[in-house]
Amino acid sequence: MTDAGLVQNGYQVPGPQTTNLADILERVLDKGIVIAGDIKIDLLDIELLTIRLRLFVASVDTAKKAGIDWWETDPALSSHAARNALQDENRELRERLEALESKADELPAGHDDRAASH
């Protein structure tokens, strides 16, 4: 914030303080701001729909301090999370394949499931 003032007779006369948008944005991102609201739709005293809205505006560091880091685990927003999701899916598919192969090894020789199902 800066003092906008005049200099008269060698003395600074204080004027109104001005704040620019960058100062406000820096303060909001540093501290964070929460905006909350509910929307309710009723018809004849019967609640049909309730929508709860919560908006948290902050810097990444401030959000992490508040325990909010969902963007790190969302595959749509994080390449690391997307890689992890693919690795998990690959692991699950390998486990299923191993289970199917072990079942196939347990079948008696000459037994064909496809022929028995037709």
In our burial notation (b when 16+ CB lie closer than 10 A, e otherwise), range 2-34 reads: eeeeeeeeeeeeeeeeeeeeeeeeeeebeebee
Taking a C-beta distance cutoff of 8 angstroms, is the pair 85, 64 a contact?
Answer: no
Residue 77 has pLDDT above 50, yes or no: yes
pLDDT 10s digits, 83-114: 777 888 889 999 999 999 888 888 876 665 55
Q: What local confidence, expressed as pLDDT, does residue 115 receive?
A: 55
Q: What local confidence, expressed as pLDDT, does residue 95 receive?
A: 93
Q: What average pLDDT does the segment 60-88 reach?
A: 78
At residue 57, what is the residue type?
V
Distance between CA atoms of residues 4 and 10, nearest Å:
16
pTM for this model (two decimals): 0.38
Residue predicted with more confidence, 32 or 82: 32
Phi and psi at residue 117, to the nearest 5° = -85, -10
DSSP 9: T
Q: How confident is the model at residue 67 (pLDDT cuts 50, 70, 90)?
A: confident
